[in-house]
């Protein structure tokens, strides 16, 4: 258990995670990350990882942030997260049997040309359920979204990348204000119904929902 941790700041060397694995492959199981007071409760960079049967709760900002990684997340819970429950950039990840409750921003976010495969997901009491950004592709099978301002979002945020894609089969919405938000040229496919954005999305508006 990691409880009440902050990040390392030593002679100008600053990490974002309360717990960080940098270019170090890791398997994390039966672990709790609680009440962390920094940018990421858990941060993995340029590594292969497995996170299973674990809990991240009461995180100040992001729950699990990974950059340029490959890996798997399954049988995990994320509760009361200040920003994103799961935030991956430049990564290829499989996420299964995950529950996220109370994400202040996005339940699950993929950016910077990430490829994410999601199965059996529940996101509740969050701003946005799932977001695909900046040339990322998210494929989702069986997701339940409850009490969210927006269910799905796909958009380009950074100039150096392109539109994003989100493909969903078997989804259930309960008290979701907007089913989806789409940026120009980005695509969201909901059970075979393909929607393509034709207007540039005001990305800042996503944070004011």
**Could you give the CA distance from residue 151 to residue 180 in angstroms, rounded to a whole number?**
6
Q: Coil, strand or helix: which one is 8?
A: coil
Phi and psi (nearest 5°) for 132? -115, 125
Q: Identify any residues that bridge with 122 across adjacent strands, giving them in sequence order.
A: 99, 144
Burial of 83 (0-12, 13-18, 19+ CB in 10 A): buried
Backbone angles phi, psi at 87, to 5 degrees: -135, 110
CB 195 within 8 A of CB 188: yes
Question: Residue 140 and residue 131: Cα distance in Å, rounded?
Answer: 11
**Which two tokens mark 90?**
């430049």
pLDDT in tens, 116-175: 999 999 999 999 999 999 999 999 999 999 999 999 999 999 999 999 999 999 999 999
Q: What is the pLDDT of residues 49-97, one digit of tens each?
A: 999 999 999 999 999 999 999 999 999 999 999 999 999 999 999 999 9
The structure's pTM equals 0.95
- Domain boundary assignment for the chain: 2-208
Determine the distance from the C-alpha atom of residue 86 to the mean position of all C-alpha atoms in its chain, rounded to a whole number: 3
Kindly report the CATH number that applies to the domain delimited by 2-208. Answer: 2.160.20.10
């Amino acid at each position: 258990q990691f409880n009440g941790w902050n990040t390392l700041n030593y002679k100008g060397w600053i990490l974002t995670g309360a717990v960080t694995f940098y270019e170090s492959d890791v398997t994390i199981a039966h672990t709790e990350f609680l009440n962390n007071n920094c940018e990421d409760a858990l941060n993995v960079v340029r590594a292969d990882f497995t996170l299973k049967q674990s809990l991240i709760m009461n995180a100040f900002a992001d729950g699990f942030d990974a950059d340029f990684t490959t890996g798997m997340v399954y049988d995990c819970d994320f509760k009361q997260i200040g920003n994103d429950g799961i935030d991956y950039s430049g990564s290829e990840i499989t996420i299964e049997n995950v529950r996220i409750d109370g994400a202040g921003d996005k339940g699950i976010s993929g950016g910077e040309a990430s490829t994410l495969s999601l199965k059996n997901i529940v996101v509740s009491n969050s701003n946005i359920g799932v977001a695909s950004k900046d040339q990322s592709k998210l494929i989702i099978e069986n997701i339940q979204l409850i009490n969210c301002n927006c269910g799905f979002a796909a958009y380009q945020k950074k100039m150096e990348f392109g539109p994003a894609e989100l493909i969903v089969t078997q989804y259930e919405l309960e008290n979701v204000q907007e089913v989806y938000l789409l940026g120009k040229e980005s695509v969201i496919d909901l059970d075979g119904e393909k929607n393509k954005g034709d207007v540039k999305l005001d990305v800042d508006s996503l944070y004011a929902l």
